[in-house]
Structure 1
């Protein structure tokens, strides 16, 4: 009987892990990090569900990650000498950075094969950001990437326990795992009002950098579900993702969108990832 109970308990544990491991996290494990495209949410912290004003997303961080988002763009500002997630002004919405990081840690613990990327737009000293990661018990989860080294496969990252890639536009490289985004990435322009104005023109970062941030959202003058419905439609997003490799020589590694749950964003990315990597 004890043996049977152990067997049942083991099966139950395996079922829980399986339930917490989306298929897309499993089928891509054999690819290098730079051979995968992911949905990245623009101003991920700014969401309607938690009462932010003029939000860029409908749902909070956990729901985004549960829905398949694997990249988060987060803005960090000082509020009362502490780092907070803020978009522009604190009265529009704010949250302590450490609380957002703890939420991400909980998701990583429940989803053992997920690899998550954070890109910070930071207005905060890197030491304060590190302290927040330390307080959230995430320092041990950070992947460390040398600029001249090949990216590991997702499986190697999972096996190492370092499944969180963090990049920033301020103080990058000031501590291990806190990468300078413009030493690893380049981006397309982000100030776009109409779908016909989407292009692959480079904005920041050197074209020789290996990772491409494909900014794909409309702002007129703020984000809105109606604008996201246009940008995230199959007929607009699909050709842009498919044509990126030809136009730039790079696959779109981070496809940055507003209101990811409107339109065909995840469907487009899943379809694109089913193709063999060509770089």
Structure 2
């Protein structure tokens, strides 16, 4: 039986979200994965060990590309699936590919908690490790073999073809078991009003207004807001030279009105947020009925008990989640944090892959890695906490929206989610964010993902 969600306040910082402890597992709970094909995935960065001309480096997850898949043998070897007879091993203090028959290819795989393992040189305390971050940089790509401890030496062995489980009826599914069709730059549609200077207006991210998007089944809305003397306005990059701009409260009112008319539906709004907290609070105060439907995971014990079911959310009337990409630290410096008036900090409640697949034409980059992994931030897609899994936002769009490209990309959405992004995050996407959702049938990908969940 699930624990009921008590109405208790919980304040969590981004630093707390990023904190992870690797604890030993009792002997009875120890379990080494069976032989099979795996990604060797860093618990620190979420990146995968890849064979790079003999060196073993951590690279952005790329599915069956980039020599990142390894066959785990019963003898503790990890044979690269693209190079039979060649295994993940070591030469001195460096991770290298070596002949699988070599003693340097053997590892002792030791469970260290939370589905994590160390790859230890038998009979020693030397382990496969990610190198520490140099000042002002990310973790180096080459992997080392040394006396590393903690997360730097912790690895997921992520199955290439993970097991899944069927889902219960809709009202019994928890929020993190559901996938929603999400419109990237939903406001930039050329129907509701202007969103950019004239030239950029020629390349709308969507071609249907917010009300039509709701009617079509879109349940996630990515909105850019900029500050003007008129409040929080929906614009791309800047509101200068935008004709007929739309205020945030106008689109939020459309969403709230829809939710009041459809009491079994749930909507999430993602704000790319360039306004002061006081301006945003005043904007939200203009939306009639917002408080009746606003969902506050910070006040309902989500971190202790996990996400509520869709039935619980419907019964409570809490069916609109608003998230901001703004920094909590910056808001504290300004004197008002956005969660005091119901806007959650996205980095505390979600993980999200990098926003771009490349330019609007030409080759695409299907690798799936965290939007929040750089010299100053480290929130891998694999981030979890005891009893709590962040929601996973999967971005699937280009720098510029070209109709033919968007249609082709959207037709490949389910494939990228299954082969690239699901394994990269070790969970299925909860939000599939696309341009031109009317092309390529991304709704079919959403429907397919809503038939199963990862364990």
Displacement, 1:37?
Answer: 0.9
- Are 1:142 and 2:294 counterparts? yes
For the aligned residues, what is the CA RMSD?
2.0
2:233 alignment counterpart: 84
* TM-score under structure 2 length normalisation: 0.52
2:221 alignment counterpart: 72
Displacement, 1:96?
Answer: 1.1
- Are 1:239 and 2:395 counterparts? no
- Are 1:43 and 2:185 counterparts? yes
- Are 1:154 and 2:310 counterparts? yes
Partners of 1:196 and 1:55 lie apart in 2 by 20
1:248 alignment counterpart: 425
1:34 alignment counterpart: 176
Q: Which of 366, 385, 395 is residue 198 of structure 1 equivalent to?
A: 366
Question: CA-to-partner distance for each residue in 1:13-39, whole Å, 9 max, x for gaps?
Answer: xxxxxxxxxxxxxx5222111111111
Deviates more, 1:177-186 or 1:44-53: 44-53
**Is the contact between residue 174 and residue 308 of structure 2 (CA under 8 Å) also seen in structure 1?**
yes
2:154 alignment counterpart: none
**Is the contact between residue 422 and residue 428 of structure 2 (CA under 8 Å) also seen in structure 1?**
yes
Partners of 2:355 and 2:446 lie apart in 1 by 19
Q: Which has the higher contact order (CA 8 A, sep 6+)?
A: 1
Displacement, 1:126?
Answer: 2.0
Partners of 1:112 and 1:227 lie apart in 2 by 36
Secondary structure at the aligned position of 2:207 is classed as: coil
Displacement, 1:113?
Answer: 0.7
**Is the contact between residue 188 and residue 199 of structure 1 (CA under 8 Å) also seen in structure 2?**
no
**Is the contact between residue 191 and residue 218 of structure 1 (CA under 8 Å) also seen in structure 2?**
yes
1:133 alignment counterpart: 284
Question: CA-to-partner distance for each residue in 1:65-107, whole Å, 9 max, x for gaps?
Answer: 1101110001111122511111123234520111111111111
- Largest Rg, 1 or 2: 2
**Is the contact between residue 395 and residue 433 of structure 2 (CA under 8 Å) also seen in structure 1?**
yes
Partners of 1:199 and 1:29 lie apart in 2 by 33
Structure 1: runs of 5 or more not aligned: 1-26
Return structure 1 stretches of 4+ with deviation > 3 angstroms.
Answer: 171-174
Partners of 1:89 and 1:176 lie apart in 2 by 25
**Is the contact between residue 281 and residue 341 of structure 2 (CA under 8 Å) also seen in structure 1?**
no
| Structure number with higher strand proportion | 2
- Are 1:183 and 2:368 counterparts? no
Partners of 2:192 and 2:266 lie apart in 1 by 25
Partners of 1:140 and 1:268 lie apart in 2 by 31
- In the TM superposition, 1:87-106 aligns within 5 A as 87-90=236-239, 91-92=241-242, 94-106=245-257
Partners of 2:338 and 2:282 lie apart in 1 by 15
- Are 1:167 and 2:323 counterparts? yes
Q: Which of 442, 445, 448 is residue 265 of structure 1 equivalent to?
A: 442
Partners of 1:134 and 1:253 lie apart in 2 by 28
| Structure number with higher helix proportion | 1
* TM-score under structure 1 length normalisation: 0.83
Deviates more, 1:170-179 or 1:64-73: 170-179
**Is the contact between residue 75 and residue 85 of structure 1 (CA under 8 Å) also seen in structure 2?**
yes
Secondary structure at the aligned position of 1:232 is classed as: helix
Partners of 2:427 and 2:215 lie apart in 1 by 27
Displacement, 1:140?
Answer: 2.7
